[in-house]
Structure 1
Amino acid sequence: MTQRVFFFDLLRCVAAIAVIAIHVLAPYRDLLGVIPLYEWSFAVGVNSMTRWAVPVFIMISGALLLSDTRPFDLKYYLRRRVGKVLLPFIVWSLFYAYLSGWSANGFDATLSREVLFNMGQHETYYHLGFFYYFIPLYFVIPFFQYLVKNTDDSALYALLSMWLVTTVFFLVRFDGLWSNQYYLYSGYLLLGYVCYQKLATTKSVLSLVTLLGGAALACTAIAVICGSIEQQQYTFGRWLSYKTLNTVLAASMVFMLCRYFADRLSERSQKVISFISTYSLGIYILHPLFLWPMKAYGWHQGNPLWVIPVWIILSGSGALALSWLLSRSSKTRWLLP
C-alpha cells in the first residue's frame, strides 16, 4: 500500500474515533455542578479537542475529488458520487426515524412519525446532521474542480484567504452573507486540496501548523470550560462550531500531522488502520446503534475518564463488526458505500 493511500486511511480512522468520542461524552456536557468539576472538565475538554473530526472528513473529500484530473462526466458523477451517498442516507434516515421512537420506556409511535415528517428540515438522528450539509457540497465540487484546473495558485489562495477571514467573522458573530453554512463548509474542500497538493510536509510547515492548531485547541478548551464555569451552565458560544477559525486550524493540524506520520507507522499498524478505514463510513452511520443503550438506560453514569474510552471501544467495535457483516453480501453492501 502506498503512503498516499494510507495517509487517507489514517485520517479516516482518527476522524471516526473523534466523532464517536463527541457522541459518547454528550450526556456529561450538562452536568456542571452535578458531577465533580474535574470529571465535567475532562468530558468537555475532550469535546473541545475533537471538533475537527467532521471538517477532516470534508477535507478528505476535497483533497481526493479536486485532485482528480479526469474530464468531468456529469452522469458518472451523479451516479457514482452523489447517488452512492444519497440513497443510503435516505434509507438510514428512515431507519433512525424509527429508532428515535424507542426509549427505556418502550416505543413512541407518535414521536417516530413526527421525526419522520420533519426529515426534510431536520435529521432523524443526531449524527445524520452531517449529511445535510455534506451532500449539498457535491454540487459545489464541480465548480471547484474547474477552478483548480483552469486558474493559477494565486486565485486559489485568494479565495481560500477570503474564506479564512469569514471563519473569523463567524467566530466573533460578525454575520452577513458570508455566514451561509454551505459557503463556510465548502471552504474545507479547498483547504483539503491545498493541504494535500500544495503544502510540503517540511519541519517548518509542520511546526507552524502544529503551533497554530495546538493554540486553537487550547483556546477552545479554555474558552468553553472557563466560560461555562463563570456562567454556572454549559455554554460555548461558537467555539465548538465547525465553521470557525479555531476549528479550521485544528483540522489543518490533524491533516498535516497524519500526512507526515502515516508512513512512519509499522506495517502491522498500517494493516489494522487500513481495515478500519475501509468501514469508516459504516462506523459513522452505525455507532449510535451501540450507544443507544448507554443513552436510553443512563449507562454513562461513572467517571468519564474511564466511561468515555470504554464506550468508544464498545460502540466503535460494534459498528465496525456490523459494517463488515453488511459488506459481505451484495444485497446489503450498498447501504454502507
Structure 2
Amino acid sequence: MKPLARKHLDEVQYARVLALLGVFAVHSTSTGVVESNPESFTFIIYNFFNIAGKIGTPVFIFLSSFVLFYTYYPRQLTFSLFQRFYKKRLLYILVPYVVFSAFYFLFRAYLGQNFETFPAMVKRFLIDLSAGNAQYHLYFVFVSVQFYLMFPIILYLFKRFEFIRKYAIPLGIIIQWTWVVLNSLYIQVPSKGSVSLSYFMFYFFGAFLGVYYEQVVAWIRNWRKIWPAIAAIVLGYVFMIYLYVTIYYDIRTGQWTGHNKWVEFAWSTHAFFAAAVIFIFVHYLETWNFPRIKKFMIEIGAVSFGMYLIHPFFLTSLRLNAPLSGEPLIFHSWQLLTLILTFFSSWLVVRLFYDFVPHSWIFFGNGNRVFNKPKKSKVKDKKEVNV
C-alpha cells in the first residue's frame, strides 16, 4: 500500500535550530559558570543561558516524536513499514552513534593519556556504548534509540485507543512523574537522564501534535481569537525560566534549601512550555516574509544532528587552547568566540561531509547536498519530512 503523503514542514527545521541553540548555550557557558565569581554580574549571565538553554534534549525528543507520528500515524501498520523504519534508524542513527562513541572514547583516552590494555579498553568502551556514556552529549541518542524500540507498540496503542490519543499529554505527564517518584523512592537509577521514561511528557506531547496536526495548526493560526491562550503559554514559559534559573542560582551559590523534586518540576515544566512556545512560534515564522532567515534556519536544521554529534570536539579543542591571561575581558571574549567558532566549525564540517565525502551517512546520518549537487536528473526532486 502506498504511504499517505502529508505536507512537508519547514517548521520542523526551524524548531530544530532553536533546540540546537539551546544545546550550544548550555555547553558553551559551562566554563563561564565554573570560573566566574558567583557574586559577579557575569555569573548571573552565564547561569541564565546555561539553565535557560536546557531545552535541547527534551525539545529534540518532542520534535522526533512529532515527526514520527506526523509521518507514520496515517499509514497502515505493516511488517514492511517497520522494516523500513528500523533500517533507516540503524543506518542513520545507530551507525553514527557507534562511530562517534568510538571517536570520543579514543579522544578522551588521548587527552588523559589513559591507555590501558586493548581488552580492557574494549570492555570499557562497550560499557560506555551500552549506556550512552562515551561522551556527555551522546545520552540523547541512547534515549532516542529506546523510543525507537518502543515506537511500534506506542503507535499501535495510539491508533487502537482514542482515549490514549485524546489524553496523550496528561498521560505522558503521569507516566514521567510516576517514573520520577518510583526511581527516587525505590529504583534509584543514578543516570536517570539516560532513561527514556524521564522524557515521556515530551514524547507524548509530540505524538499528540503529530496525530492532530491539522486541527492544532488551524487553532494556532486563528490568533485573533486564541491570543489570550497563546499569551498565557508564553507567560508560563517566562515564569518557568525565572523559577528554574533562580533555583539553580541558589543551588550554585549555596542558598538552596528546597527539595530536589522542585528542581525536577522546574526543569520539566520549563522545557514543556518551551516546546509549546517553539511549536507555536515556528508556525507563525513560516507565514512571515523573512526569506533569508528561513533559508539559514532550514540549512542549519538539515545538519543539526551532525552538528550535535561533532560540536563537543571543537568546544573541547578550543578550550584546551584558551589564552592563559587572567584578564576578565579576555576570558569572557574567549567564551563568546568559542561559541561562535564551535557553531560554524561544526556546520562547515558537516556540510562538507554531506557534499563531498562518500557515504557521509556513516558519520552524520542522512543529509542533503548544497554545494556539490548532482547534475540535473530526469526525476523531479521530492521534499519529504526527515524522519
Q: TM-score range with shorter-chain normalisation?
A: 0.7 to 0.9
- Letter paired with 2:60: F
- 8 Å Cα contact 1:13-1:277 kept in structure 2: yes
Give unmatched runs, 5+ long, in structure 2.
1-5, 366-387
- Letter paired with 1:322: V
Structure 1 residue 163, shift from structure 2 partner: 2.8
Counterparts of 1:180-219 in structure 2, within 5 Å, are: 181-195=195-209, 197=213, 199=216, 200-201=219-220, 202=223, 203-219=227-243
- How many Å separate the matches in 1 of 2:361 and 2:177? 41
Deviating more after overlay: 309-318 vs 325-334: 325-334
- How many Å separate the matches in 2 of 1:160 and 1:175? 25
- Letter paired with 1:129: Y
Aligned equivalent of 1:140, options 144, 150, 155? 150
**Matching of residue 130 in structure 1 with residue 140 in structure 2:** yes
- 8 Å Cα contact 2:14-2:298 kept in structure 1: yes
- 8 Å Cα contact 1:220-1:240 kept in structure 2: no
Deviating more after overlay: 168-177 vs 214-223: 168-177
What corresponds to 1:17 in structure 2?
21
- How many Å separate the matches in 2 of 1:29 and 1:35? 8
- Letter paired with 1:268: R
Identity %: 15
Deviating more after overlay: 161-170 vs 74-83: 161-170
Deviating more after overlay: 162-171 vs 41-50: 162-171
What corresponds to 1:57 in structure 2?
60
What corresponds to 2:304 in structure 1?
280
Counterparts of 1:1-337 in structure 2, within 5 Å, are: 5-31=9-35, 34=37, 37-67=40-70, 68=72, 69-72=74-77, 73-103=81-111, 107-110=113-116, 113=121, 116-119=125-128, 120-152=130-162, 154-165=163-174, 170=180, 175=185, 181-195=195-209, 197=213, 199=216, 200-201=219-220, 202=223, 203-231=227-255, 239=263, 244-298=268-322, 302=328, 306-328=333-355, 329-337=357-365
- How many Å separate the matches in 2 of 1:50 and 1:223? 15
- 8 Å Cα contact 1:51-1:241 kept in structure 2: no
- 8 Å Cα contact 2:244-2:267 kept in structure 1: no
- Letter paired with 1:22: V
TM-score in terms of structure 1 length: 0.84
- 8 Å Cα contact 1:242-1:248 kept in structure 2: no
- How many Å separate the matches in 1 of 2:267 and 2:241? 14
Q: 1:221 to 1:12 in 2, by over 3 A?
A: same
Structure 1 residue 306, shift from structure 2 partner: 4.4
Structure with max Cα Rg:
2
Deviating more after overlay: 221-230 vs 199-208: 199-208
Q: 1:242 to 1:323 in 2, by over 3 A?
A: farther
Q: 1:81 to 1:333 in 2, by over 3 A?
A: closer
Deviating more after overlay: 299-308 vs 275-284: 299-308
Structure 1 residue 28, shift from structure 2 partner: 2.8
- How many Å separate the matches in 2 of 1:109 and 1:206? 55
Alignment size in residue pairs: 331
Structure 1 residue 220, shift from structure 2 partner: 0.3
- How many Å separate the matches in 2 of 1:37 and 1:171? 36
- How many Å separate the matches in 1 of 2:95 and 2:126? 18
Q: 1:237 to 1:160 in 2, by over 3 A?
A: closer
Structure 1 residue 173, shift from structure 2 partner: 8.8
Structure 1 residue 133, shift from structure 2 partner: 1.2
Structure 1 residue 259, shift from structure 2 partner: 2.5
Structure 1 residue 94, shift from structure 2 partner: 0.5
- How many Å separate the matches in 2 of 1:182 and 1:95? 24
Structure 1 residue 148, shift from structure 2 partner: 2.9
Structure 1 residue 176, shift from structure 2 partner: 6.2
- How many Å separate the matches in 2 of 1:242 and 1:110? 42
- How many Å separate the matches in 2 of 1:236 and 1:292? 30
Q: 1:117 to 1:64 in 2, by over 3 A?
A: closer
- 8 Å Cα contact 2:91-2:362 kept in structure 1: no
RMSD, aligned α-carbons: 3.4
